[in-house]
Structure 1
Amino acid sequence: MEPGRRTITTEELLEMLVDEYSERVKRLAYTYVKSWQAAEDITQEVFISCYKNLDSFRIESSYKTWLFKITVNKSKDYLKSKWYKSIAPFDFNWSLFSGMKASPEDEVIEKNDEYILSEKVLRLPAKYREVIILYYYEDLNIREISELSNINLDTVKTRLRRAKSLLRKMYEGVELDGE
């Protein structure tokens, strides 16, 4: 260690991770469970798990990718649990994903477009919804998505391509037939 530099504690690192990623973790969890309350619970579980395993974290991936992987796994566990109930995604708000301001007229148009897009993304089958959210809204690259989801790189590419195709069909008014 260099003179004058102190080692960061586990608690300090956790606090930094919570500050930087808690909102993104909650939004990611929401895209799976479609309930803000459940997403908040999952967020807490993610950071508890993070704290318990921080000492064993290997620098093979970034903290962001690691936290997202925990989030995806906790969200999928929640969906498999006997307590899970289907909730319609009417309170979804894509504006949480951007920080840009527009004119009031543009905001109304944008909110309507965001609502329509979010509704369509959330209607995608989970395997396609996952790659769209991670790629476009969480800015992960295809390799990171592959590592995070334990899915072959080519499969991620295929799912992303199919997801975009399904979204195009939805915009054209074609309904999905249980895919």
Structure 2
Amino acid sequence: MDEHGEYLLRFIYVYVKDWSTAEDILQEVIVAYYLKSHQFESRSSLKTYLSKMAINRCHDHLRSWKNRRIVFSDAMTQWISSSKSTEKTYEHQVVRSDLIKNVMELPITYREAIILYYYQQLTMKEISELLACPENTIKTRLRRAKRLLKNKTDSSEWEGFQDEQI
């Protein structure tokens, strides 16, 4: 928990968009790992194993009847923003908040590809192992997500993505 707890909490939050739900899911993941730690075969890192457990719990939550509302919180903006002067931080938050909002509005398959690739900086291979699907599927999801984001965002926000090849 000390080593991977904060990472997992943020990771789960990206899926469920609610801090209290993310904390509950994190607790479920940690308890499940504690009860079944003997099943961990060390074929991957513990972080990857816990991330996969978290993804499965998030998918379960998103499919459940309890998940009736989706809330975008300013906490996501605070999490991503860096410590700069107040004016620059505000400008950065305004520009990034629209992009973050658009990312969070994507369907879950596209959102998770964008988050894992750009925010978590995982490789295509790592993402494909984590999501248990082929690398080409991940590339397709990223391409489609970028196309959807391009239609929704201002050209100044899009500058970082436009020249990148997937």
Q: Could you say whether these structures have the same fold, taking a TM-score greater than 0.5 normalized by the shorter chain as the test?
A: yes
Tell me the distance in 2 between the aligned counterparts of 1:41 and 1:157.
31
Counterpart of 1:82 in structure 2 is: 65
Counterpart of 1:102 in structure 2 is: 84
Equivalent residue letter for 1:32 = Y
Distance of aligned partners of 1:164 and 1:158 in 2 relative to their CA distance in 1, 3 Å threshold: same
Q: CA RMSD in A?
A: 1.7
Tell me the distance in 2 between the aligned counterparts of 1:87 and 1:147.
28
Counterpart of 1:35 in structure 2 is: 18
Give the alignment of 1:1-179 within 5 angstroms. Answer: 18-97=1-80, 100-172=82-154
Tell me the distance in 2 between the aligned counterparts of 1:160 and 1:171.
16
Tell me the distance in 1 between the aligned counterparts of 2:101 and 2:112.
14
Q: CA deviation at 1:136?
A: 1.4
Give me the TM-score of the superposition, normalised by structure 1: 0.79
Q: CA deviation at 1:172?
A: 4.5
Number of equivalences: 155
Question: Could you list the per-position Cα deviations for residues 130-161 of structure 1 after superposition, in whole angstroms to 9, with x for gaps in the alignment?
Answer: 11111111222111111111111110111112
Q: Percent identity of the aligned residues?
A: 41
Task: Give the conservation status (yes or no) of the 8 Å contact 1:92–1:115.
Answer: no
Tell me the distance in 2 between the aligned counterparts of 1:68 and 1:97.
20
- Structure showing greater radius of gyration is 1
Tell me the distance in 1 between the aligned counterparts of 2:54 and 2:8.
6
The farther-off stretch of 143-152 and 79-88 is 79-88
Please list every run of 5 or more consecutive structure 1 residues that lacks an aligned counterpart in the other structure.
1-17, 174-179
Tell me the distance in 2 between the aligned counterparts of 1:76 and 1:91.
23
Q: CA deviation at 1:53?
A: 2.3
Task: Give the conservation status (yes or no) of the 8 Å contact 1:95–1:114.
Answer: no
